[in-house]
Structure 1
Amino acid sequence: MRYNRYSVLTMACHVCTDINQGALPALLPFLVLHKDISYASAAGLIFAANSMSSVVQPLFGYLGDRVSWPWLMGLGAFLAGGGLALVGFLDSYWSIFAAVAVSGIGVALFHPEGGRVANLAAGDRKGAGIAIFSVGGNIGFALGPVIASVALATMGLKGTIVFLIPAVAMAAVILASLGGLNRLAAESRRGKTGGKHAPAKDDWKSFFKVSACLTSRSVVAYGLTTFIPLYFAVVLLLPEASASATLTLYSVMTAVATLLGGQAADRFGFSRVIKGGFVFLVPLMLIFPLIGNVPLAIFLLVPIALAINTPQAAMIALGQKFMSNHIGTSSGIMFGLAVSIGGMVAPGIGWIGDRYGLTMAMYAVASFAVLTMLLALLIPGSPRAVENPKQHPVDDAQPRPEPDNTASR
């Protein structure tokens, strides 16, 4: 029961942190129209939120493998919300850029430690455990556009102040839970050093294959979350609020897909879930820009969200399994370098949208879906010893004797 409590805690903190990531793309149509910024400049705010993450997350993940800092989860949630809350009160583009960068740093502080604690709390069911953690981010992404749309519609751009409320609340909850979180980390360290099972050897080659695929996937994911509202508003001519609301549908289906994907990974295998999802994604992404009918385009968002997000928890859990001795580092790389690079590529896709139109921008996103599928096909299945080390006990005192086959000769 204790481990379930910490799984819920990390999920809740993930919700409060990623509300801000989900809200930022929904703010873009308002900023484009009221601050008179270009598509590329709007996508540059996504770059601001993620560029610092690509450096900070692996660093804190590396340190997290050596010392437990669960308070970083609370600090990260606070900075993520506080930075975004400032956006509506600023006038110049570069001051908005700086505030969004602070929010991105907060997100970067949370994810490595949050991913490490979620892994510890998951026990033997890593797929389902990481899915619970990941779905917190999905819920945050789903709530973010709703909160942004309602707040800005009723209060104007200064409505961004509402993002400070969950930030402060979650920071207080983490602060109150530090004692239990520290005990969880201590129990895990004692289990590793006192057990009779040999620690699995880190498989860097396989881990980097997973990370490469996750990086390419992040370009598709950020491309969709950045340009779905703009595409529906500019190409399909939906009102601003309705266009932003399409991102909520996509995010809700993302949460459903993540939970289903974690369960499926534990049952059918991580590699199969990863490959199957991305093979299914490619034709959907190639068809989407051809759709001119609004209801059909909205309907197509559902299978797209399922296809791209079902493999997510499986990829993160598999990467952590390949790096079982450095879970913080692997979490930092996957949530930092691999995931944040998608946001860094977004301005390039925005440039395509400015120069050639948003339809061509969506085709650019689709091209990364093809690349993601090809990289997924290179991911190996986990060696049995990595998938479940408990199936291969090793006696620390004596070497395992070779079997005696004399009687069978």
Structure 2
Amino acid sequence: MHKQSPYLITAAHMVNDSCQSVLPALLPLFIYTYGLSLEQAGFLILANTALSSLLQPLLGYISDKLNQPRLIALGVLLSACSTGMMGIVSSYESLLICATLAGVGSSIFHPEGAKIMNRLGGGKKGKAMGTFAIGGSSGFAFGPLFAGAIAYTIGPQGLSAFTIVGIIMCTILFILMPRIVAYANTLERSIHNTNTDETISMPLRNYWSYFGILFLIILSQSINFRVINAFIPVFWTSQLGASPEQGSFALTVFFSVGIFMTYIGGLLGDKYGPVKIIRFSLLLWLPAMFALPYIPQMPAALIIGYLLLIIIGAAKALSYSPTIVLGQTYLAKSIGFASGITLGVSQTIGGLVAPIVGRLADIYSLPLAMLTLVPFLALGLISALFLKSPKDL
């Protein structure tokens, strides 16, 4: 069972992030059901992300002090139960509460999940984080497809399936977590004794200035990722004339590419260094994001849209694992806190901008509002030029 421990944590990541993917996929349904404006839809994303963004660094800091890996199980349970409740509530206010609690569950899961995966990675932390990221990418890829299929066929109450899966995963994690921690301890002692990993033999130190630069990159990526994630289904239906099912499928395309590229990004980060991979991903992401709002004016707009989504999804996925590993390296004495920022906040803080983009879309248009995301990526690319490779610290 010991060697399968990373895969169990990865599966838990898939369950947790599939719950996080439900809300954007069902925004067209909620807009129709409750008569929401795009600004109100943006506030749903904000409710799902704001408190989570604030909690994850705090919970990561607490994780460094208390070391309670079973919080992983609690995070999955809360996310899954809140997601199931979204299918049976009867008001916009209740939906806001469910979205908030689902975000809190994610904030509990991510810092401790990334921390234990770092320990299970041994001397190949990029590969370990790539494996871990496959779970998140799979959840975001298949969650919208599954949620859309349920909600648009048998009804929103079918979201209770997420709750059932979450309860099963929570039970397994709670029972097996002591064995997983014991295996991680044994692995760390073995690697330390053989002195095969240079980063383990180095004195632990926090490089806050470089971590601050990395945070700017995380912020630029998060704003783009979360807003795109929120409004792709709406963009597909309102601007490209696609059906709601096609809007959910667009999210699946967006995240499916990440299933493979996150793992490849981890391997490339181990081989070439995380800084180079982060810079390359931003160079790939920036022009694709600039072109996306213009596709309604192009022939074969749907095909071009899917191609751009693949490029953006690949760019995001490539930098996923290197960003986490680099953050944990910069803050080697505070891995839980670093994980709360690089893994948790990177997935949530961008939701703070979603209502603003939604408001701009209500006043002007959704394509024009999406163009406001481009300067953030430019800021991230410029910031990446000032990062320092771990081997040069």
Q: Same fold (TM over 0.5)?
A: yes
For the pair 1:358 / 2:366, whether they are aligned, the reply is yes
TM-superposed deviation, 1:371:
2.1
Instruction: State which drifts further: 103-112 or 172-181.
Output: 172-181
TM-superposed deviation, 1:278:
0.3
TM-superposed deviation, 1:330:
0.7
Q: Equivalent residues in 2 for 1:280-359 (5 A)? A: 280-292=284-296, 293-359=301-367
TM-superposed deviation, 1:296:
1.8
Task: State the SS of the aligned residue for 2:327.
Answer: helix
For the pair 1:240 / 2:240, whether they are aligned, the reply is no
Q: Equivalent residues in 2 for 1:5-404 (5 A)? A: 5-184=4-183, 186-187=185-186, 197-292=201-296, 293-384=301-392
Deviation sequence 1:22-67 (CA, Å, 0-9, x none): 1110010110011111111111111111111122211221121123
Does the 8 Å CA contact 2:328/2:338 hold for their aligned counterparts? yes
- TM-score (ref. length: structure 2): 0.93
The alignment yields a C-alpha RMSD, in angstroms, of 1.9
Task: State the SS of the aligned residue for 2:332.
Answer: coil
Task: State the SS of the aligned residue for 2:21.
Answer: helix
Does the 8 Å CA contact 2:219/2:346 hold for their aligned counterparts? yes
Does the 8 Å CA contact 1:209/1:378 hold for their aligned counterparts? yes
Does the 8 Å CA contact 2:122/2:188 hold for their aligned counterparts? no
Taking structure 1 as reference, are residues 57 and 191 closer, same or farther at Cα in structure 2, changes over 3 Å only?
A: farther
Does the 8 Å CA contact 1:68/1:182 hold for their aligned counterparts? no
Structure with bigger gyration radius: 1
TM-superposed deviation, 1:211:
1.8
Instruction: State which drifts further: 267-276 or 196-205.
Output: 196-205
Deviation sequence 1:344-398 (CA, Å, 0-9, x none): 21111111111111111221222322222222222222234x6xxxxxxxxxxxx
Does the 8 Å CA contact 2:123/2:191 hold for their aligned counterparts? no
Deviation sequence 1:167-206 (CA, Å, 0-9, x none): 1111011012122133145447767998983423221111
Deviation sequence 1:234-266 (CA, Å, 0-9, x none): 000101111111100111012222111111111
Segments of 5+ residues of structure 1 without an aligned counterpart are: 387-409
Q: Distance between the aligned counterparts of 2:146 and 2:202, measured in 1? A: 48
Query: Which residue in the other structure is 2:198 paired with?
Result: none
Q: Distance between the aligned counterparts of 2:327 and 2:239, measured in 1? A: 38
Q: Which amino acid aligns with 1:35?
A: Y
Segments of 5+ residues of structure 2 without an aligned counterpart are: 196-200
- TM-score (ref. length: structure 1): 0.89
Q: Distance between the aligned counterparts of 2:191 and 2:349, measured in 1? A: 33
Q: Distance between the aligned counterparts of 2:124 and 2:71, measured in 1? A: 25
